[in-house]
Amino acid sequence: MGRSILPTGFAQGIANTLYRAAGSPDLRIRLWTGDEVGAPPSTSAGTLVIRSPLALVRLAIDPELELGDLFVQEQIDVEGALDEFLAALLRREPKVGVSHWIPDSWRELALSTGRSKAHQNASHHYDVGNDFYACWLDEGMTYTCAYFPRPDATLEEAQFAKMDHVCRKLGLRPGDEVVEAGCGWGGFALHMARHYGVRVRACNVAEEQVAYARERAEKEGLADRVEFVHDDYRNLHGKYDVFASVGMLEHVGMDHYEELGSVIDRCLRPNGRGLLHTIGRSRPQLLNRWMRKRVFPNAHPPTLGEMMRILEPRNFAVLDAENLRIHYRLTASHWLRRFEREADRIEALVGRELARTWRFYLAGTTASFETATVQLFQVLFSRAGNDHIPLTREHQYSGDAPIFADEALDGAPRDGGSLGER
Amino acid sequence: MGRSILPTGFAQGIANTLYRAAGSPDLRIRLWTGDEVGAPPSTSAGTLVIRSPLALVRLAIDPELELGDLFVQEQIDVEGALDEFLAALLRREPKVGVSHWIPDSWRELALSTGRSKAHQNASHHYDVGNDFYACWLDEGMTYTCAYFPRPDATLEEAQFAKMDHVCRKLGLRPGDEVVEAGCGWGGFALHMARHYGVRVRACNVAEEQVAYARERAEKEGLADRVEFVHDDYRNLHGKYDVFASVGMLEHVGMDHYEELGSVIDRCLRPNGRGLLHTIGRSRPQLLNRWMRKRVFPNAHPPTLGEMMRILEPRNFAVLDAENLRIHYRLTASHWLRRFEREADRIEALVGRELARTWRFYLAGTTASFETATVQLFQVLFSRAGNDHIPLTREHQYSGDAPIFADEALDGAPRDGGSLGER
């Protein structure tokens, strides 16, 4: 075997350099010659199979981008569980050349999403086709982090529990008017209307999703209470008791955070509550370049500090922030296993290249949450001085109606009577 | 009546200008002449009585500082509830001259606390004497925000509940080693040891408090499990399962946030959890000048975004953040009413001037939380990739032992068996 372009010893040298540049992770590399480098087989989480000298050279030049591209093009492959292999890679800090940790100075780089581009960005990702997503999402078509009250909950149970968890955080009451920015296939909007008796106006720039959501609202007899709008969140108007956005912020460039803050400010009534649910980071970092270029154009998972650029300029106060990283790890793991089980059907549906793109992306997502390269934040907020907020978070877990502070304290805590002072 | 220094009409003009500069709040001003300006009596929350032309001039020149100073010196007084009067003032955005909202550009001003100064700062506030604090704090001498599971809980119940709430958030288990930075009179350290079976090393720079805490540990038979150290948090060493700091961060200048992060990084074991409990802001702003000069030298209540300067550079991930503003409003209101009830005893103990300083400060604190000029944040965190964290927050409310993710998931979620995948 072996091709004449690269002498075998030289190819092994490049592979070794590449391996060390990646921080010597617990995995192996096998060349087209059969030669192997890397961790001892006993500690290896998987083997990267490089099929040609060209693939090796491309990988050496730009590993962050080419690892995914070469996988999609079948120029490389992975033996062993793909998510475990990628987790082993992410666990190490790469050295120069595999610049996984982008310098801080780069993070200010505009990851701008112009209004006309927002449609393209979301379409790119979501208009693969509803049938495709139905192959591996839960029955309710919820494409955001689920919530596992027990570790052995099913994905369906966990997505239901997530929607309930968000509704309870927001303290929804019958009659509340809710606006949802980025509504996916409409599952959450319909859940709020059905189980909490609220009215919802929900927007989304992905046309096929909106069509699906509208049909669903009709079918479920909720079309009079849930309105799905094919539009950008920046065009939202009207006044609402609740602002909710589950899984949209990742697609909003940081350049637009202040604008998002102004939209929320414009739409939220004085005693309203809001919630932002987003993939995030524990430290500022750009999204992996392959993900940004091939899967989520211009996406950016923010740190909690970066998210404050939405809320602090408008004097919104964070009431409650919860990190659900472990829950997304479980969610993504469910998706990946369903995806792999349905691999043949998916390939027939969208073609081999797109199927491999998505498999690599889902495995990478699972690995990213497992290695904590990313986090998941749910941030509940209201105007700083709003007393119409739950006094504690107990109702999130008891399922009882929340006790709102303004109602419980009767507006007169200072006279002592209602405070139980002895 | 009237003194000849200021013609009456001129004095009224100054008072009127002052009133409008404060944003025309719902209160009145009465001059030494008996003349009044301000809101109609029907909407007024209280009357500011200005006793002399000099007091009026001083107030006009530097209202932010002089309002408190003149009150302490009895050159001005307030008719009506002091906290209600101050809340009415805080509800309005002052115009030029009453620069309550400091420009953003100022916030970067170093509020530095040099190591030698830290002792002075804390001493200034806390060495008024334990007897003084005992007059108006709860029996357990807890001088931080309480937690009211029910609005009618007593202050004693609410302080106990707060300590339990923090212990549950931290997922304390018997045998855990805890380090506490800024331990006050030791109540929380002793609570953790007594009720959760942990060992605690707690530090504080206020000498009289440490002496009190040590005596208490002896008396309660916990001296073998709780060590109180008279030292600065920056000198902490050793490795711990838990880092806790309740009410110290307000005294740590922002210049020292990175240093605090490195202390936590140094002291926390890989699978440890940490909690920072602090007065904060919904938007960046310096502390009122009177508070900074007369009560809390160099204190700074941070926004959540500012707090991230402690955690993000060290790759700590926020797991849970809770805003307890309403609870501090209730706590401060309890303190103020106890303080006012014990006014004579307190005056005999510390003198009239200090008593008035403290009454003004406690009323101001109550008003600040009522008007949301300040917030209260409890931020739970761990190293970004730590799986030894509770899977949900349900145990915080059920009182059951937390389910730790690493134990529940058995380290192998990807094989499917433990995930309940169908």
**CB of A407 within 8 Å of any CB in chain B?**
no
ipTM of the complex: 0.91
Q: Is B394 in contact with A149 (Cβ distance < 8 A)? A: yes
Q: Which helix (H) or strand (E) holds B76?
A: strand B76-79
Domain boundary among A48, A66, A101: A101
**CB of A149 within 8 Å of any CB in chain B?**
yes
Residues A379 and A245 in one domain: yes
Asked if B200 and B178 touch (Cβ cutoff 8 Å), the reply is yes
Asked whether residue B413 is assigned to any structural domain, the reply reads no
CA distance A123 to chain B (A): 30
Asked whether residue B414 is assigned to any structural domain, the reply reads no
pLDDT of residue B417: 39
pLDDT of residue B99: 41
Count of structural domains within chain A? 2
Residues A190 and A314 in one domain: yes
CA distance B355 to chain A (A): 20
pLDDT of residue B240: 98
Q: Which positions 324-353 of B are in contact with A (Cβ < 8 Å)?
A: 325-326, 329-330, 333-334, 337-338
Q: Is A154 in contact with B333 (Cβ distance < 8 A)? A: no
pLDDT of residue A68: 96
CA angle B145, B147, B153 (to 5 degrees): 120
Residues A224 and A315 in one domain: yes
pTM given for the model? 0.91
Average confidence (pLDDT) over B340-352: 96
Q: Cα(B376)–Cα(B340) distance, rounded to whole angstroms?
A: 24
pLDDT of residue B109: 39
Q: Cα(B284)–Cα(A86) distance, rounded to whole angstroms?
A: 40
Asked whether residue B352 is assigned to any structural domain, the reply reads yes
Q: Give the pLDDT band (50/70/90) at residue A123.
A: low
Q: Cα(B414)–Cα(A333) distance, rounded to whole angstroms?
A: 6
pLDDT per residue as tens digits for the range A274-295: 999 999 999 999 998 899 888 8
Domain boundary among A40, A67, A101: A101
Q: Side chain identity at B211, as an amino acid letter?
A: A
Q: What is the span of the domain harbouring residue B68?
A: 8-101
Residues A256 and A172 in one domain: yes
Asked whether residue B415 is assigned to any structural domain, the reply reads no
Average pLDDT, chain A: 90
Q: Which residues of A touch B305 (CB under 8 A)?
A: 304-305, 308-309, 312
pLDDT of residue A400: 94
Average confidence (pLDDT) over A338-366: 96
- The pLDDT of residue A415 is above 70: no
Q: Cα(B81)–Cα(B339) distance, rounded to whole angstroms?
A: 13
Alpha-carbon torsion angle A251, A252, A255, A257, nearest 10 = -150
Asked whether residue B417 is assigned to any structural domain, the reply reads no
Q: Side chain identity at A36, as an amino acid letter?
A: E
Q: Is B393 in contact with A398 (Cβ distance < 8 A)? A: no
Asked whether residue A170 is assigned to any structural domain, the reply reads yes
Q: Is B151 in contact with A418 (Cβ distance < 8 A)? A: yes
Q: Is A372 in contact with B385 (Cβ distance < 8 A)? A: yes
Query: Nearest-CA neighbor of A308 among A258, A274, A252?
Result: A258
Average confidence (pLDDT) over B286-293: 90
Residues B378 and B284 in one domain: yes
Query: Which is it for the CA torsion A343, A144, A293, A285, positive or negative?
Result: negative
- The pLDDT of residue A209 is above 60: yes
Asked whether residue A411 is assigned to any structural domain, the reply reads no
Average pLDDT, chain B: 90
Q: Cα(B397)–Cα(A397) distance, rounded to whole angstroms?
A: 7
Residues B168 and B237 in one domain: yes
Residues B221 and B335 in one domain: yes
A396: closest chain B residue by CA: B394
Average confidence (pLDDT) over B233-242: 97
Burial class (CB in 10 A: 0-12, 13-18, 19+), B34: exposed
pLDDT of residue B318: 98
Asked whether residue A3 is assigned to any structural domain, the reply reads no
pLDDT of residue A4: 55
Q: Give the pLDDT band (50/70/90) at residue A122.
A: low
pLDDT of residue B101: 37
Q: Cα(A104)–Cα(A372) distance, rounded to whole angstroms?
A: 18
Domain boundary among A45, A78, A101: A101
CATH of the domain at A40: 3.30.1050
Residues A63 and A170 in one domain: no
Residues B215 and B244 in one domain: yes
CATH of the domain at B170: 3.40.50.150
Which residue's entry shows tokens 């190819």?
A11
A331: closest chain B residue by CA: B419
Q: Is A154 in contact with B84 (Cβ distance < 8 A)? A: no
- The pLDDT of residue B16 is above 50: yes
Neighbours of A111 (CB within 10 A): 18
Neighbours of B307 (CB within 10 A): 24
Residues A138 and A257 in one domain: yes
Average confidence (pLDDT) over B255-270: 98
pLDDT of residue B115: 46
pLDDT of residue B194: 98
- Nearest CB to A83; choose among B312, B408, B414: B414
pLDDT of residue B122: 52
Residues B129 and B67 in one domain: no
Residues B201 and B237 in one domain: yes
CA distance A147 to chain B (A): 9
Q: Count how many pairs of residues, chain A against chain B, have C-beta atoms within 8 Å.
A: 185
pLDDT per residue as tens digits for the range A50-89: 999 999 999 999 999 999 999 999 999 999 999 999 999 9
Q: pLDDT: is A97 or B352 the higher one? A: B352
Range of weakest confidence among A366-370, A413-417, B126-130: A413-417
- The pLDDT of residue A196 is above 60: yes
